[in-house]
Structures are given as structure tokens and as C-alpha cells.
Chains A and B, each alone.
Chain A
Amino acid sequence: MFDYSGMVTHKYALVYGVTRYTMATVNGAIPNLSYPDADASAMVAVLQSNGYTVSSRWVSGNGHVWTNGTDTSKVIGSLTATSQDGSMSVGAGPGDIDAPSKPNILSDIQALSGTIGPNDVLLIYFSGHGTQDTIAAPTREYFDPYGAVMNDGTGSYYDFPAPSVRDDELGSAFNAINTPRKVLILDTCNSGGFIGNTLEVDTTPQLYTGGPPLVTPGTLIQAIANYSSMQSSPTGLSPYGAQVLSAAGRDESSYEYSVLPDGTPLAHGVMTYFLLQGFQGSQADLNHDGRTTVLEAFAFVKAGIEKNWNPYYLAANQAFEPHISGGPVDFVLF
């Protein structure tokens, strides 16, 4: 058995963002976003300034692929078909070889398996689209790297699974990493589906409709059942495999915007904006002990969204709540 009680020796991060999904936007394509490249770029800077060794890939708004903070000047491909039965695909572009695609993301994780030791930290951050397969039971959630395409051939709109990244696929990649200190931060829709708890009952609903979370008799019954069975959630990553900080619940969307309702410039994913605020100047160090943990970062982000976003967008059904994995252990980020 590994002894994880020693000091953290190295901190590694993989940072990804996809602002533009295809050079040719046609009917049925995944819509492009505005700020994942800004999210990824800012996240790289803040992680590097806090001692992380960072590798990054993102696609900017003009379709250029960036690696490790440098513009390769190579562009991504275009959609080659517009069929909505799952056969839609993205044609090869010169930037594909370096793009934040599913093969590259999984390969990046695999490449760290020989480097990361049991006391090291691995943080993976992704900003872009996420989606939910509502036909599967239970539902399955994905995040959409470059190469993801839409599929509504069965009448329910979700992304064609093969080029997207599902929780268990990421979990398999994580198994090669020899540290329990793995942190996954997803600024995507439906990202709460990547959380798979064993004991805990999350009283914040996966689709937030307002009001405080409530501990009900049902919560107690479910908690006792979980205690009795100790069976992990059928989907999502176990808290003993990785701590997940998700922008939104399993059944809800997250958002990006240019300004906050009070006029403050945003120009990021809403969750990432508050995460960056928390990391800069150690505002997320809630107990002022000189360290910022995953849980403190979550609490800071959640408070920011609940105060500065949700009251203004609840009526438009655009309120959302971040979620976090359970488990007894929390990790120091910086």
C-alpha cells in the first residue's frame, strides 16, 4: 500500500479549452463558444504562478490550436457531413495533431503515468461544452473536446459519444496515475454527472430551481441505504479516485458571459471566473491558513455564483449550482 501521508513533491496540471469546435459552422454542429480559450489561458497562468508544471491545449476563437501557451498557427478542421444520425464528423485540419481532442487528452494523462508519484498532485481542467445522453439509463454525461459532434438521430439531442469523453473513460485513464491526489475541474454543462459518490447524498438538486437544499427524511433513508450497501454510484468518478469540482449539476447547464449582471466584466465561463477570483490573491483560502484546498475553492465558487449570478438568472432558468465529490479527504491545491 502506498503511503500518501508524506509531503506533496510535485504538482502537475493539464489544462484544456475549446472555443471553436469547427471551422465551418453548419446546421447540427456543436455551437462555438466565446471564452474557453480565455479560461484555459488564465488558468494556466494562475496554476504556473502557484508552482504547477502545466501542459495545455486549447482552440481559440479563430480556430487556431494553442499548445503550452503558444499559438501553433494551425487551424482545426471543418465538418465533413451534416447527417444528424451520428455520422457527422469533423474533417482533418492541420491543427488536429495538437488539438485538445479526446485521443490527445487521454494520451496526455497516460504520458504522466510514469512521472507522477504517490505524493504528487494532478489537476485536470477543461472548459467547453458538456452534454448528457438522456436515452441511457442512468443518464451518461460527457465533456466535449475538439472533434465532438452532435447526434440527434434518435430524437433526443446529445452529442455523438465516440469523440466525447465519458466519466468512465476518464476514470480508466486516471487508473494509470499513481496518486490519489487527482482533481478534475470541469466548466461544462452537465458536469455534475462526473461525480459518483459512494456514501454521500447531495441535497443540492442536480437541476437547481431555487431555494435552499433540504435534508429530508428521504435524505436520511438514502444515506442509511448508502451506508449499508457501500456501492458506488453506477456513473461518475469515485471520490477515492478523483475529486471532481463541477460547474453545474448533472441535469443543468453552465454558462459563459461577457459581463456579470452588476456590470463587472466577466469574459469567462461563470464558474471559471469565480475560480480565478478565488485563486488570485488567495481569496478562496477561506480559513486563512495560507493554503487553498479543493473544498475551499468549491465553496468560494459556489458563493460567488449564488450571490452574483443565480438571483438574476433564476427566472430565466439559467441558474446553476456547482457540485463537488464526497469522501473524507480534501487536497491542498496551493
Chain B
Amino acid sequence: MSWRRVSRSLLFIILAFWTTGAAYAFSIGVGGTGAVTLSAGQGFGPKLQYGGGASIDLVFPILDWLRLDTSLDLFTVSPSDVSGGFLYRGYSGAAMAIMAQASAVLVSSPSLGLIRTGGGLGFAAALPTYWYTTLAFFYLEPRVQGLLDWEPAGLPRFSFQLSVPVRMQLRRDLRYSASAGIGIGVLYRVGKER
């Protein structure tokens, strides 16, 4: 299939969602994450790397308690320290992610709004390049996260999200690499009011 056909198909899907938004609500959002990554290479000890990222999300409700979050993430991970005469290289890039999120109502108050708590399970495909280089590489990344979702009473289309993402970078050139962090985000619901 040519890239032009793929582009047309994607355009059709996006337009379809927008035009049917009144019937099938979905949310768009942006978010940011700060994380610390623990990496260990073959024959080299573990070290910490600090990083962060931003995402653009499209979130589709499936059931009242279940939704699908698709996102495009831009991220960067800084190099580790140089102790022992070596370091793990920093890298930056993009990832496409999909995550199923389940949640339950924690607080429902006319003045406060709706607060949900829950968790998510998903995975991402990442294509970063090492800092200072043009060397691109690929890895898969299973993700889990806990989340707290607040829909303020006065802003019915908005929800604000606090998350604790835990991610495992399935990098084939490292013994292991995993990260944990904290994220914030805001979603705007498009389509019909609930």
C-alpha cells in the first residue's frame, strides 16, 4: 500500500471521527511526563537517566469505565553520569502509544465534580536517535500506569489527569531498561455532552 493511500485512509478516519463526534464523543488532550530510567548494559552496571516528554492524545470511550488512549509522544532521556568511566547515551525521539484505561468513580460531588481513579495497560513503539548523533534505533515499550482523573464541575468538557507511568524499554542492546515517573495532562471532550 502506498503512503498516499495510507494518508488518505488516516484522513478519512480522522474526518469520520470529527463528523460523527456528536454521536461518538472522544477527547483530545496534551500531557507532560517526567521520568527516571534505570538502565544496565551487557557487562556494565546499572545507572539512572533522567528524562521527560510531551504527548498529544486522542482518547476514545468504550464503556463508561473503559477508554482507549492513543498518543504521539515526544521524549528525551539524558545521559547517565560518568562514574566508572562510562555512561549510557542520552536519546530523544518519538513514540506511538496505545493504552486501555479503566477507572472507577472515587468522588462525585456537585461542587467538586467527578474524580476517578484507575489504571492503564498498553504499549508503545519508539524511534529515538542518540544525542549528538543521527543514529536512529527502535524499541518496543510495554506500559502500565496509575491515574487520577478530575472532571471539574464548572468545566464539563475538561478533565485533568495525574498519572504515574511505569515503562519497560525492551531494548535489545541493554540487559534491562525501565522507567517510572509522574505525568500530568488535560483532556477536552469533543462531541455530545453527557
- Interface pair B89/A4, CB less than 8 Å apart: no
Q: How far is the CA of A35 from the CA of B133 in the complex (A)?
A: 28
- Interface pair B43/A203, CB less than 8 Å apart: no
Q: Is B67 an interface residue (CB 8 A)?
A: no
- Interface pair A330/B136, CB less than 8 Å apart: no
Surface stretch bound by B, among A128-136, A157-165, A211-219: A211-219
Q: Is B88 an interface residue (CB 8 A)?
A: yes
Q: Is A326 an interface residue (CB 8 A)?
A: yes
If A3-B45, A5-B44 touch, whether A331 touches B86 (CB-CB below 8 Å) is yes
Which residues from 88 to 137 on chain B have a C-beta closer than 8 Å to any C-beta of chain A? 88-89, 127, 129-137
Q: How far is the CA of A332 from the CA of B82 in the complex (A)?
A: 7
With beta carbons under 8 angstroms apart, the residue of A201, A293, A326 that contacts B82 is A293
Which residues from 215 to 254 on chain A have a C-beta closer than 8 Å to any C-beta of chain B? 215, 217, 219-220, 223-224, 226-227, 230, 240
Nearest residue (CB) in B for A6 is B84
With beta carbons under 8 angstroms apart, the residue of A181, A226, A298, A330 that contacts B137 is A226
Surface stretch bound by B, among A53-61, A144-152, A192-200, A262-270: A192-200
Q: B156 to nearest A CB, angstroms?
A: 40
Nearest residue (CB) in B for A5 is B45
Chain B residues in 8 Å Cβ range of A330:
79, 86-89
Nearest residue (CB) in A for B46 is A5
Chain A residues in 8 Å Cβ range of B163:
none
Q: How many residues of A contact B (CB 8 A)?
A: 49
- Interface pair B88/A227, CB less than 8 Å apart: no
Q: A32 to nearest B CB, angstroms?
A: 34
If A5-B44, A230-B172 touch, whether A121 touches B136 (CB-CB below 8 Å) is no
Residue-by-residue, is B157-192 near A (CB-CB < 8 Å gives 1, otherwise 0)? 000000000000001111000000000000000000
Residue-by-residue, is B41-85 near A (CB-CB < 8 Å gives 1, otherwise 0)? 111110000000000000000000000000000000001001111
- Interface pair A329/B87, CB less than 8 Å apart: yes
- Interface pair A327/B136, CB less than 8 Å apart: no
Chain B residues in 8 Å Cβ range of A4:
43-45, 84, 86
With beta carbons under 8 angstroms apart, the residue of A2, A199, A203, A298 that contacts B138 is A199
Chain A residues in 8 Å Cβ range of B3:
217
Q: How far is the CA of A275 from the CA of B50 in the complex (A)?
A: 29
With beta carbons under 8 angstroms apart, the residue of B41, B42, B45, B137 that contacts A223 is B137
Chain B residues in 8 Å Cβ range of A2:
43
- Interface pair B136/A203, CB less than 8 Å apart: yes
Chain B residues in 8 Å Cβ range of A293:
82, 87
Q: Is A202 an interface residue (CB 8 A)?
A: yes
Chain B residues in 8 Å Cβ range of A217:
3
Q: Is A7 an interface residue (CB 8 A)?
A: yes
- Interface pair B136/A201, CB less than 8 Å apart: yes
- Interface pair A3/B43, CB less than 8 Å apart: yes
Which residues from 109 to 145 on chain A have a C-beta closer than 8 Å to any C-beta of chain B? 119, 121
Q: Is A100 an interface residue (CB 8 A)?
A: no
- Interface pair B134/A329, CB less than 8 Å apart: no
Residue-by-residue, is A1-19 near B (CB-CB < 8 Å gives 1, otherwise 0)? 1111111100000000000
Q: How far is the CA of A217 from the CA of B1 in the complex (A)?
A: 13
Residue-by-residue, is A272-301 near B (CB-CB < 8 Å gives 1, otherwise 0)? 000000000000001101010101101100
If A328-B41, A330-B79 touch, whether A200 touches B137 (CB-CB below 8 Å) is yes
Q: How far is the CA of A110 from the CA of B60 in the complex (A)?
A: 63
With beta carbons under 8 angstroms apart, the residue of A180, A201, A289 that contacts B135 is A201
- Interface pair B43/A1, CB less than 8 Å apart: yes
Nearest residue (CB) in A for B39 is A328
Nearest residue (CB) in A for B139 is A227
Q: Is A65 an interface residue (CB 8 A)?
A: no
Chain A residues in 8 Å Cβ range of B130:
200, 295, 326
Q: Is A204 an interface residue (CB 8 A)?
A: yes
Interchain residue pairs with CB less than 8 A apart (23): A5-B44, A5-B45, A7-B83, A7-B85, A119-B85, A180-B43, A181-B85, A181-B86, A200-B130, A200-B135, A200-B137, A201-B136, A202-B133, A213-B134, A220-B138, A240-B42, A287-B79, A295-B89, A298-B133, A328-B39, A331-B86, A332-B82, A332-B87
Question: Which 9 A-B residue pairings sit nearest by Cβ, starting from the closest?
Answer: A5-B45, A8-B85, A299-B132, A223-B138, A200-B135, A213-B134, A203-B134, A204-B134, A227-B138
| Known contacts A1-B43, A227-B172, A326-B135, then 13 further A-B pairs from the complex at CB < 8 Å, ordered by chain A residue | A121-B85, A200-B136, A203-B135, A219-B127, A227-B140, A293-B87, A295-B89, A299-B132, A326-B130, A328-B39, A328-B41, A328-B89, A329-B44
